[in-house]
Amino acid sequence: MNRRQQQSKFSLLLCLLLMSGCAIFYTAIDENTPPPVDWPELKITKHVVSHKEMNAVCSKYGKGWIACAVMDLHAKTCDIWMSKDHMNVYIEWHEEMHCKGYDHPGSTTITGLINEYRAKTAEAK
Ligand SMILES: [Zn+2]
């Protein structure tokens, strides 16, 4: 094997290793859209658990997550579940941004949550 082949083999391996962690980097936070004005301040609790435990919570919201934020606007809580195998500052920041009412570009998750919250608060009055 020559030097060039060795190098390309190394890049491939690195990419494979990073792949699971890379997924979330393609799911950006839309920082240009401010959170809803009446988004309540949520108490953030961080749970750093095994990949399996994280998956047990996060798989309710779809497949292939490496972290997720479970928001309860009525209880004013935001629970961040992170897999200790894939922890990094970006993921932590990303999930915290969700707790603060930021969404992914083009996603309607935050809008859906706030609409439901507004409807229930109006009912209670
Ligand atoms: Zn996200």
Question: Has residue 15 got a pLDDT over 60?
Answer: no
CA distance 68 to 59: 9
Higher model confidence: residue 64 or residue 117?
A: 117
pLDDT in tens, 40-65: 999 999 999 999 999 999 988 877 78
Between 7 and 79, the more confident residue is 79
Q: What is the mean pLDDT of residues 5-9?
A: 53
Ligand 1 centroid distance, CA of 118 (Å): 22
User: Each residue of 71-87: pLDDT tens digit?
Assistant: 999 999 999 999 998 88
Question: So what's the pLDDT on residue 1?
Answer: 60
Place of tokens 């009055």: 125
Reference 94, options 21, 14, 18; nearest CA is 21
- Residue 86: its pLDDT value, please? 83
* Spatial separation of the C-alpha atoms in residues 114 and 98, rounded to whole Å: 12
Please check the confidence at residue 115 and state whether its pLDDT lies above 50: yes
Q: How far is the CA of 69 from the centre of ligand 1 (A)?
A: 8
Ligand 1 midpoint to CA 117 (Å): 20
| C-alpha 70 – ligand 1 centre gap (Å) | 11
The sign of the torsion formed by the CA atoms of 31, 24, 77, 84 equals negative
Domain count within the chain: 1
Structural domain harbouring 14: 3-124
Q: Where are the beta strands (DSSP E) in the chain?
A: 43-49, 67-72, 77-83
CA of residue 17 to ligand 1 center, whole Å: 21
More confident residue, 104 or 5: 104
Write the DSSP symbol of residue 42: P
CA of 2 to the centre of ligand 1 (A): 42
pLDDT at 99: 96
What one-character DSSP code corresponds to residue 79? E
Mean pLDDT over the full length of the chain: 83
Ligand 1 centre from 13 Cα, in Å?
26
